[in-house]
Amino acid sequence: MLGRGRALAASRGAGGAAEVGWLIDAPAATFVYGAPEALSIPGDTEGSAKSVRQCPAVLAHRAGLFQVTCPIDLHLRLRNLRTSKPLLVNAAGNQSTVAAKVLDQMVTLMPRDRWLDAERPVLQIGAPWRFVTDDEVWLSQLPPFYHYRKEPLPGLLIGGRFPIRLWPRSLMWAFEWHEPERDLVLRRGEPWFYVAFETRQPHRRVRLVEARMTDELREYCNGLDGVASYVGQTFGLLKTAAERRPTQLLHRKARS
């Protein structure tokens, strides 16, 4: 009977919302990074029962998305693209709100041999959000396709998908520069990317909570951070991650 009771409790837990924690894992200036926000439908709440805002498919799609906003203002330009060492320039110059030293730490123009296309530079910007869970959940990082920009970006966000129960890695904003003759302008507070979560049950919702960095989580993250510098296929380490994972990694952050 005890075993049956545990199985019943597990089945009930599987039917509830999957809890996913988020935290900012940066050494300083964590206040510039905002909390992920659930996506809502803007506009008049009144209207026809047949309006787009009442469509269950639209509502279900948006309900699974969380928005992360850009933490800083950036105005970047490419130089010497035809040479062996293209150069990334801070086009804002002395009007930039971001210190040059910080910009050098946050932004990386990837070497040409790591680009998807020889004519399209790839840029990475540190995005120190970590998502952690004790449920079987996959995270997908997506472009903010519900956000309309009068001046489109000169390229595309490079998305990714990985299992955050075993791989709570810190995110990156990766960008493929399709029109390198155009500047890349990002504004603090505008939608930067979306995160979507999948569980084994398509109907199962995700509840996002603020998490805290524990000693166990830090030790576990130290094991997975930077492994791409040592091996080619990091997903080959998922078995090792599963073997070394503590039973619980998600701990809510208490707010007074």
pLDDT in tens, 176-212: 999 999 999 999 999 999 999 999 998 889 999 999 9
pLDDT at 48: 73
- Number of neighbouring beta carbons within 10 Å of residue 187: 13
Alpha-carbon dihedral 103, 109, 110, 112, rounded to 10 degrees: -160
Q: Of all helices (H) and strands (E), which one includes residue 106?
A: helix 100-106
In CATH, the number for domain 22-211 is 2.70.40
Residue 213: DSSP 8-state: -
Residues 216-246 have pLDDT tens digits of 999 999 999 999 889 888 889 999 999 999 9
By the 10 Å C-beta count (0-12 exposed, 13-18 middle, 19+ buried), 47 is classed as: exposed
Task: Say what the pTM is.
Answer: 0.89
Query: Residue ranges of the chain with pLDDT lower than 70?
Result: 1-15, 43-47, 49, 256
